[in-house]
Amino acid sequence: MEIILKKDVESVGRAGDLVNVSAGYARNFIIPRGLGIEASSTNMQALKNEMETSVRRVTKEKETAQSMAERLGSVTCNISRKVGQQNKLFGSVTTKDIGDALREQGIEIDKKNIVLGEPIKSLGEFSVKIKLHSGISAGIKVVVDGEV
């Protein structure tokens, strides 16, 4: 029996593949669990349309991420923190702080996409990486200033 897989099935195939499995395996395991559907002409056409839509959506997301990366290349975030003696920060600058500073500049970035190797605990200028899409990332400059 020919089946179109909706999800990856170990030792059978990946999502979107047209595979030939035994009728019992298809009726008792794959179809009831929503892992695949029977390969009829209407289902094949629906799969083709869904794949085309998916490709267009991914292409649009990559273009948007690329334009955002170009925009972020020239962005500088200024963050002010209270400092003690010897210019030591009280606390640290986190991804949430950087996300809030970007939001004030009109740039919406989820804090989960901001990559800090370790929290920023001193004054100065730091380079921070932001993941926008798979394979697309941008770097911004974060300047931490002290306030008394």
Domains of the chain listed by start with CATH number: 2-65 (3.40.5.10), 69-147 (3.10.430.100)
Pairing state between β 114-115 and 124-133: antiparallel
Mean pLDDT over the full length of the chain: 89
Query: Maximum Cα–Cα distance for the chain, whole Å?
Result: 75
State what percent of residues in the chain have pLDDT above 90.
43
pLDDT band at 83 (very low <50, low <70, confident <90, very high): confident
- How far from 30 is each of 3, 36, 41, CA to CA, in Å? 9, 6, 19
pLDDT of 85 reads 79
DSSP state of 30: I
pLDDT of 21 reads 93
pLDDT of 148 reads 64
DSSP state of 112: G
